[in-house]
A = this chain, B = another copy of it.
Amino acid sequence: MVAATMMMSMLGSRAAVLLNRSAIAMTQIHRRHLSSLTTEASGIQRVCVVGAGTLGAQVAVQTALRGFEVSVLDVSQESLDRCQQAHRAIAKQYVTRDASQASQARGWRGLSSPGVPAAKVASDALDRLSYTTSFEEALRACDLVSENVPEVPDIKAATYASLHEHAPKGTIFTTNSSTLLPSQFAKDTGRPHQFCALHFANGIWDANIGEVMPHPGTSEETVRTVLRFAKEIGMVPFHVRKEQNGYLINTLLVPWLNAALTLAQRGVSVPADVDRAWLISTGGCNAPSGSVLGPFQTMDIIGLTTVAHVMDYWGDQLGDAQMIANGKFVRDRYLEKGKLGITNGNPREDAAEGFYSYPNPPFLRDNFLD
């Protein structure tokens, strides 16, 4: 499922600043800099993106922008042609948005500089992309595959069988499936220990999360390599430690969207009122602080005693065993250790404990989201 900011964050439009020093050296320096942020480089150089639809096209161009050689593989030449057109449009968007730091995508930051003009970064990325209907050609010397084919189990299974037949032994396979689990296809890959999910959100350069989720048979080395690779292509890597539906974001988004729909479906309220009430009470556009909070920040402010009580109460009302387990989790792991959140304090000054440690919790640091 797509991330919410995709559209809103593409509204800016400014002319590109074009400068004229050698881009290649700077790109190399940039790659080294990114790698140094992880403990080690992934070692990935050549990537194959299978499935040239919306998400596949985004993964391919993002990976090429970050300096990797990318072959796009699809059974349909028409899809490949549309994908190539999309890549040109995205490259143009990159140049346009680069002119302003404010409108530049998080996943595109730092790619160009006075020494590496945006137009050069974009044209180099397009040069690193190739398009083919041949598995053999696409997978030659390929280090990592990102699978983006339709969410149909039979299509996925057949695709993995063909990929396994043509890919080098050491190639890592990743799936970008939103709804199907890696374990469903582990056997079809012929290399279950070299297979896990690397899941992106639509508009991957803005909502630049890379959710890395193993199935029970994935090797730790594979998880580490894919986490490093995700970082190298400009994603913030997240290790989803246990296989489950929804990764992180959809696990949070779906119940929230569902609750909103229920209010409208039952005639309790209307869409604009639901949105306004949410925005007003959770730090929306007009909030004095301009802050937006994640759920655990929110709970530390609510106070963990109240949170535990709410989970107990609603768990009981709804007969929801997981909610009741969550209430117990908050009591056992936090309240009983004196971690109460910051109900009566200020996150910058209080020496409180909750899900975060105060003062100066990590979310007040500039690099929290990097």
A275 adjacent to B288 (CB under 8 Å): no
> Does A272 reach chain B (CB closer than 8 Å)?
yes
Collect the chain B residues with CB atoms within 8 Å of residue A286's CB. 106, 369
B295 adjacent to A266 (CB under 8 Å): no
A289 adjacent to B9 (CB under 8 Å): yes
Q: A2-B301, A258-B323, A288-B9 are in contact. Are A238 and B275 (CB under 8 A)?
A: no
* Count of identical protomers in the assembly: 2
Binds B, one of A97-105, A124-132, A158-166, A216-224: A97-105
Q: A255-B255, A271-B356, A301-B4 are in contact. Are A292 and B265 (CB under 8 A)?
A: no
Instruction: State in angstroms the CA–CA spacing of A264 and B105 once bound together.
Output: 29
B288 adjacent to A12 (CB under 8 Å): yes
> Does A8 reach chain B (CB closer than 8 Å)?
yes
> Does A38 reach chain B (CB closer than 8 Å)?
no
Instruction: State in angstroms the CA–CA spacing of A259 and B268 once bound together.
Output: 23
Collect the chain B residues with CB atoms within 8 Å of residue A255's CB. 255-256, 258-259
Collect the chain B residues with CB atoms within 8 Å of residue A285's CB. 291-292, 368-369
B326 adjacent to A265 (CB under 8 Å): yes
Contact with B along A304-331 (1 / 0, CB 8 A): 0011001101100100101101100110
B7 adjacent to A301 (CB under 8 Å): yes
> Does A230 reach chain B (CB closer than 8 Å)?
no
